[in-house]
Amino acid sequence: MTESFGLSAAARAALLHRLAKRRGEETPANPEAPPPESPGRDLRTLPGARDLALMREAGEALGIENPYFRPHLGVSGAHARIGNQDYLNFASYNYLGLNGDPRVSAAAKAAIDQFGTSASASRLASGERPGHGALEAALAGLHRAEACLTFVSGHATNVTVIGHLMGARDLILHDALAHNSIVEGARLSGARRIAFPHNDAAAAERELAAQRRRHGRALIVIEGHYSMDGDIPDLARFAALARRHDALLMVDEAHSLGVLGATGRGIAEQAGVDPGEVDIWMGTLSKTLSGCGGYIAGRQALVDVLRYSVPGFVYSVGLAPPLAAASLAALELMLAEPERVARLQHNATLFLALAREAGFDTGHSAGLGIVPIILGSSVRAARMAAALFDQGINVQPILFPVVPERSARLRFFLSSEHSTAELARTVAALATARDRQAA
């Protein structure tokens, strides 16, 4: 793994020497200590444990502070309070600044006063709360779908729905950069799984043409807005190929809702495509909608099956009433105040332009809400993030193995609440940090 740190051969050798010396200086084993665990019970041998330990040691040896799990002491949006300092924040999905809006918070508080903090059982077992149906009706209307069903987790929504709807005789095609939840759902289903090159509809069609007749149902899964690269698919083209090959099309709108389209309705509005061309709309409540959970919208027949049979709904507690109320309030505000979406898109477009003018690689970002700064080295990305943090700017590095080493990056999530001056200051700080590292 050390070969993937983006260091020269000499620097890698020096780092390995320092780590070996550090290990050699460890306190000798205590003869009175309990014997080591047997191999089958040694949790240090769990998958990824060794790599994690090495990354920690490397960070310490390189003098890079762990940038993850820093506690935020207030609402996290365009700004955040971390420790005792205020930061410009680019590590939040609070795209439209609705999390923390007094009207959203008031809706959640009113739901707590009436229903408490939990649904206390599965909805199938304990019955509905009015907020569940109201939120689902609003989400169905948003996608011009017949029905909708909400779940307690966005990640679990994809896992349980894909895993339940598809089976061993079926075929699932998904984008190579699909979210982990999509991949895990496909694995759970037991279906034949094929990943096609990112945003390559032609490659997806070639796979469908070659494989479709050998399988029962076929499902194509794409995302409306890819969270690692900030780009978008050609929805019309994917919808057309799904029809040609008798396949279902599922679109994950987790980072699309509130970000794409003139009123934030997502990729269909952005692309000018009839939402009915998509069979399964999936989305999350934890980003623009300021709650927590996921949803599926589509035809009534689909939602009826899920309501009575999908494990992640039937065997899970229902969505907490205050979260349902907060998400409904946020959705209503998004639609009533489209100027929030316009500000977000303006900010993202501006940040993208400034970053490119400063010579940064921003990949294929569409400049709608997410802009990566691709640095090509995990060490460089970690050091850049640390340098920015020292300047009061919080952005998370995305390192190997989450992305290939040559694609290590800083990932900027923009907000409608960032100011033009703040964006310019951030790009200037990026350029200064880059130049100092290169010196």
Residues forming the active site: 227, 255, 287
Same domain? 88 vs 13: no
Same domain? 347 vs 307: no
Is 73 domain-assigned?
no
The two three-digit tokens of residue 29, written as one number: 């084993």
Q: Measure CA 120 to chain center.
A: 28
Same domain? 330 vs 343: no
Q: Counting beta carbons within 10 angstroms of the beta carbon of residue 377, is it exposed (0 to 12), middle (13 to 18) or buried (19 or more)?
A: buried
Beta strands in 48-105 (DSSP E): 79-82, 85-89
Q: Counting beta carbons within 10 angstroms of the beta carbon of residue 120, is it exposed (0 to 12), middle (13 to 18) or buried (19 or more)?
A: middle
Provide the domain limits for residue 38.
2-62
Is 29 domain-assigned?
yes
Cα(108)–Cα(98) distance, integer angstroms:
13
Same domain? 430 vs 285: no
* pLDDT reported for residue 4: 44
CB-CB contact of 280 with 251 (8 Å): yes
* pLDDT reported for residue 2: 38
**Helix/strand/coil for 218:** strand
Is 430 domain-assigned?
yes
* pLDDT reported for residue 30: 60
Is 68 domain-assigned?
no
| Residue at a domain's end among 336, 363, 391 | 336
* pLDDT reported for residue 61: 61
- With a cut of 50, list the residues of the chain below it in pLDDT: 1-6, 16-17, 19, 22
Cα(209)–Cα(190) distance, integer angstroms:
21
pTM of the model: 0.89
Same domain? 131 vs 200: yes
Neighbours of 139 (CB within 10 A): 25
The two three-digit tokens of residue 46, written as one number: 């769990």
Q: Can you list the alpha helix ranges (DSSP code H) found in 3-129?
A: 9-24, 49-62, 102-115, 123-126
* pLDDT reported for residue 326: 98
Same domain? 234 vs 349: no
Sheet holding 370-374, edge to edge: 370-374, 409-413, 396-398
* pLDDT reported for residue 5: 47
How crowded is the C-beta side of 191, counted as CA atoms within 13 Å?
29
Give the CATH number, domain containing residue 383.
Answer: 3.90.1150.10
CB-CB contact of 189 with 149 (8 Å): no
Domains in the chain, number: 3
* pLDDT reported for residue 71: 81
| Residue at a domain's end among 336, 369, 403 | 336
Q: Which residues does residue 219 pair with via DSSP β-bridges, in sequence order?
A: 172, 248
Same domain? 361 vs 431: yes
